[in-house]
Structure 1
Amino acid sequence: MNDSWYRASVPAVPPRAQLQGVLDADVCIVGAGFTGLSAALELAEAGRSVIVLEAEDVGWGCSGRNGGQINPGVACDHARVVRELGETDARRVWQLGVDGVDLLRDRVERHGIDCDLKWGILLVANKARHVPELHAWQDELGALGYDRLEFHDRAALQGLLRADYHAGVMDWGGGDLHPLKYVQGLARAAEQAGVRILERSAVRSYSEQRGQVQVCTAGGQVRAGHLLLAGNAYLGKLLPWYRKGFMPIGSYIGATRPLGDLAGQLIPSRAAVCDMNTLIDYYRLTPDNRLLFGGRASARDARPDALRQTMRERMAQVFPQLAGEDFEYLWGGQVAMTMSKAPVFGRLGQRVLFTQGYSGQGVALAGLAGKLMAETVLGDARNFDLMARWRHLPVPPGAPLQTAIRALALLWYRLQDSR
């Protein structure tokens, strides 16, 4: 399910070694995606020895196949953060979210990561009732000191995006990138800092004993002072069910053929776009003028080809000019969604940390989460503990029950979007 345009558009990377035998490190990290590699880079630059264990290869999970859209903050409304944490700490959470984007920008520049990074992301109103919500959102973030939002009414929006929306807000603090290029760049930077990344080394179990964590794969074992679980929706049974505050939702993306001059006519601003439905459509142009179109949600891990016609119809609803177009690439994966849309931060015992549940907003947020885990290992847990205060409902065990709950939730969201 990872036969993506991203994979096709980058040179193949030689496979890394698998874990064999027993190795020692200050920190062991499970998952070579945005979260794990961000933590690894931070720790290595602070002088810690780090081993990253990846079940597949670097960026195989959501980090290497997502929509590539960069958003500051967390996925839920600021008002909800205030209700959960209070006004003062909610402001701290917002600033951390902005810091996550700055962290991404800094790493791209500092490590010379060529990942097609560009700035500007449009949030667009599908319905007239969304327009006051756009104004309220802009006012709310303005009160937090965020001044990077520009409102465009229906007429003005046509200069940025030739599609039928009621209004839009351009966020110059967000943007988009090629996620696989970015995660591979993070991996190179981490390795240059001394991190050892071992691929095809799925973790089967771990245990705390005698002041360290023992992490076991089929081929060997890592003994470390701390373990960071950074596999997000792909951690499997490494987290107990009652600590999983998210459910995996299938999400799918298609890439058209290169559209030539038509691409610039569709999105003159070349900004990434996301709509305001609960079950969102999101899309953007690639450097070779393909349209990447995503957002089809599924309760099951469906085959992307089974969704091809539905996704083509959704794309044609936005851009009627593309009614005859198909996708040259179509792929999908699991997004870790929480009920609140806030991420989950937590601890297991004294030496194990985990973060997960970025709810579709992980491009910057996952990197921040990795940095906060690293800071905690290094002795400063203030920001990690702030995020860990959020109370999340446990996800009931059992795949059939979870699938049924996801299906009911998606049905409810579709009904909401049809109003």
Structure 2
Amino acid sequence: MPLTRSWYRDSAGPTASYAPLTGRQHADVCVIGAGYTGLSAALELAAAGLRVRVLEAEQPGWGCSGRNGGQINPGLACDHQVLQRALGPADALRLWHLSLAGVQLIAQRVERYRIDCDLTPGILLVANRPRQLPALHRWQDELQQLGYDQLSFHDRDGLRLLLSADYQGGVLDAGGGSLHPLRYVLGLARAAEQAGAQIHDHSRVSAIQQDATGVTVSTDQGQVRADQLIIGGNAYSGGLLPWRHRRFIPVGSYIGATRPLGELAEQLIPSRLAVCDMNNLIDYYRLTPDNRLLFGGRATAGAARMDRLRTTMRQRMGHVFPQLAEEDFDYLWGGQVAMTASRAPHFGRLGSRVLYAQGYSGQGVALTGLAGKLLAEAVLGRGDGFELFARLRHLPVPPGSALQTAVRAMALSWYALLDRRG
């Protein structure tokens, strides 16, 4: 994935550097991945007094945690009925409340650890076509029946006061929001280090060996011997998980950042809310503090050509905001999102000493932090939230990158066809 230079990286300010792993080291828990999941787990475990080492192939926040759209949503990416069928009404409701705790966890950590990440409340879910309005109303009713009182519906005319784009209507979720994802993940890294966790960047894991007394995790320059291991690499876990445990397919997703738009920015989104539409292949966007428009979407099955990607992204942005039809992007970047068949996240274990969480399906800003906390609690023997998520069953993915690419391409074509319906 060459599209790693983002506006986030250039606006994050100075970043800390961490020494690569060298020699033979020991820890109570080794964590693979310095993104939201891994750092959240490391923070909780170190705060509990455990010796923790975090191994990151690049640097903290290099993957999706530092490149995503920064939109915070309660709930999971799948419909609540999926959870009810899998777990029953009572446990599905427990998962819903855990997802709310994941949203609250962000605000708590931002305040406690003084993380400057432009945390902003409120997000809009908007209907592109008239046929989507009934589904939008059902979604609002469903969440209200779950006791969630943060939603307000705005018809087409009312929505215009919040957003100068042509949608059929929308629901404002006051409980959601947005943030600068890279600043947030760098703040988590600082907090984890201050709690006692040792972070090693440029320490790509090459092998994992589990036996009766512990786990050995190897890199090119060193080894960690630990009692337990957490794998938090999500779409970038690569071959660390056996094929039968992956249960997700990585899908490319992309974001562009315009030049600072000045007063035009306020005309486009007077409310300055984050926005996401209801298509299967979504558009999502928001304004930055310096009045750039961050515009995301455009899923791909394989590698994206920069020229075609730029053209497509500009067309999509111009369709939503005709005023920007001639605008280009100062930045254009992307990354891999781990999608499961059900869109529910995938938690699990390998033997008795290795735990993992992955497959957040595009809704991971809050869920990843929650996952890290639940992974830590499972290691510490506290609570059963991890086990509840692990009860969700997932369809296997086809083996081999070529076959997976073909499946991705067919799925994306099908979703694009559904989105074109009137």
- TM category (shorter chain) comes to over 0.9
Taking the TM superposition and a 5 Å limit, the aligned residue runs for 1:118-129 are: 118-129=120-131
Is it true that 1:182 corresponds to 2:184 in the alignment?
Answer: yes
For 2:62, what is the secondary structure of its paired residue?
Answer: coil
Taking the TM superposition and a 5 Å limit, the aligned residue runs for 1:250-329 are: 250-329=252-331
Q: Please list the CA deviations of residues 157-213 of structure 1 after superposition, one character each: whole Å capped at 9, or x if unmatched.
A: 000000000000000110000000000000000000001000000000111124111
Equivalent residue number for residue 366 of structure 1: 368
- Describe the shift of the 1:14–1:184 C-alpha distance in structure 2 as closer, same or farther (beyond 3 A): closer
Write the distance in 1 (CA, Å) between the matches of 2:306 and 2:70.
18
Write the distance in 1 (CA, Å) between the matches of 2:67 and 2:50.
29
| CA deviation after TM superposition for structure 1 residue 73, in Å | 1.0
Equivalent residue number for residue 203 of structure 1: 205
Write the distance in 2 (CA, Å) between the matches of 1:38 and 1:304.
33
Q: Which runs of 5+ in 2 are unaligned?
A: none
Taking the TM superposition and a 5 Å limit, the aligned residue runs for 1:330-345 are: 330-345=332-347
Is it true that 1:224 corresponds to 2:254 in the alignment?
Answer: no
* Structure 1 stretches of at least 4 aligned residues deviating more than 3 Å after TM superposition: 303-306
Q: Which amino acid aligns with 2:293?
A: L
Moved more, 399-408 or 206-215: 206-215
Q: Which amino acid aligns with 2:382?
A: D
**TM-score normalized by the length of structure 1:** 0.99
Taking the TM superposition and a 5 Å limit, the aligned residue runs for 1:2-401 are: 2-380=4-382, 382-401=384-403
Write the distance in 2 (CA, Å) between the matches of 1:330 and 1:239.
30
For 1:129, what is the secondary structure of its paired residue?
Answer: helix
For 2:83, what is the secondary structure of its paired residue?
Answer: helix
Q: Which amino acid aligns with 2:72?
A: I
Q: Which amino acid aligns with 1:311?
A: M
For 1:97, what is the secondary structure of its paired residue?
Answer: helix
For 1:51, what is the secondary structure of its paired residue?
Answer: strand
Write the distance in 1 (CA, Å) between the matches of 2:407 and 2:15.
39
Q: Which runs of 5+ in 1 are unaligned?
A: none
Moved more, 177-186 or 379-388: 379-388
Q: Which amino acid aligns with 2:261?
A: L
Q: Which amino acid aligns with 2:184?
A: Y
Q: How many residues end up aligned between the 2 structures?
A: 419
1:301, 1:333 within 8 Å by CA — same for their partners in 2? no
| CA deviation after TM superposition for structure 1 residue 14, in Å | 4.1
Moved more, 201-210 or 64-73: 201-210
Q: Please list the CA deviations of residues 315-343 of structure 1 after superposition, one character each: whole Å capped at 9, or x if unmatched.
A: 00000000010000000000001110000
- Describe the shift of the 1:117–1:305 C-alpha distance in structure 2 as closer, same or farther (beyond 3 A): farther
- Describe the shift of the 1:120–1:314 C-alpha distance in structure 2 as closer, same or farther (beyond 3 A): same
Write the distance in 2 (CA, Å) between the matches of 1:96 and 1:211.
33
Write the distance in 1 (CA, Å) between the matches of 2:160 and 2:26.
58
| CA deviation after TM superposition for structure 1 residue 381, in Å | 5.0
Write the distance in 2 (CA, Å) between the matches of 1:51 and 1:156.
51
Write the distance in 1 (CA, Å) between the matches of 2:139 and 2:159.
17
Moved more, 253-262 or 300-309: 300-309
Write the distance in 2 (CA, Å) between the matches of 1:307 and 1:321.
20
The percent of aligned pairs where both chains have the same amino acid is 67
1:51, 1:197 within 8 Å by CA — same for their partners in 2? yes
Q: Which amino acid aligns with 1:264?
A: E
Write the distance in 1 (CA, Å) between the matches of 2:84 and 2:392.
11
**TM-score normalized by the length of structure 2:** 0.98
| CA deviation after TM superposition for structure 1 residue 85, in Å | 1.0
Please report the RMSD computed on the Cα atoms of aligned residues, expressed in angstroms. Answer: 0.8
| CA deviation after TM superposition for structure 1 residue 83, in Å | 1.2
Q: Please list the CA deviations of residues 264-306 of structure 1 after superposition, one character each: whole Å capped at 9, or x if unmatched.
A: 1000000000000000000000000000000000000324443
1:304, 1:332 within 8 Å by CA — same for their partners in 2? no
1:242, 1:396 within 8 Å by CA — same for their partners in 2? no
